Amino acid sequence: MDWIWTHQDWPRFRYNRETLEDREREFLSKAGMLAGAMCHMDDADKKKLTIELISEEALRTSEIEGELLSRESVQSSIQRQFGLRPPQRKISAAEQGIAEMMVDVYHSYEEALSHERLFAWHKMLMDGRRDLHDIGGYRTDAEPMQIVSNILHDVRVHYEAPPSGKVQGQMNQFITWFNDSRADKNMGALARAGIAHLYFESIHPMEDGNGRIGRALSEKALSQSLGRPTLISLSYTINAHKKDYYDALQRNSRGGLDVTEWLAYFSSMILEAQETSQAQLNFMIGKTKFYDRHGGQLNERQEKVIARIFKEGVQGFKGGLSAENYIRITDAPRATVTRDLQDLVAKGALTRTGELRYTRYWLKLD
| 36-75 tens-digit pLDDT | 988 878 888 889 889 999 999 999 999 999 999 999 999 9
**pLDDT bucket at 200, cuts 50 / 70 / 90:** very high
Q: Which residues are paired to 150 by β-bridges?
A: 155
CATH value of 299-363 in 3.30.465.10, 1.10.10.10, 3.40.50.300, 1.10.3720.10: 1.10.10.10
Distance (Å, rounded) from C-alpha 325 to C-alpha 249? 42
Own/partner contacts of 237-242, CB < 8 Å, gap of 24 or more, are: 237/269, 237/270, 237/272, 237/273, 237/276, 238/60, 238/64, 238/269, 239/60, 239/61, 239/63, 239/64, 241/269, 242/64
* pLDDT value at 10 more than 90: yes
Per-residue model confidence (pLDDT) at position 152: 63
Q: What is the value of pTM for the model shown?
A: 0.90
* pLDDT value at 130 more than 80: yes
Mean pLDDT of the chain: 94
Query: Any idea where the domains of the chain sit in the sequence?
Result: 4-283, 299-363
| 289-345 tens-digit pLDDT | 999 999 899 999 999 999 999 988 887 888 999 999 999 999 999 999 999 999 999
CATH code for the part of the protein at 4-283: 1.10.3290.10
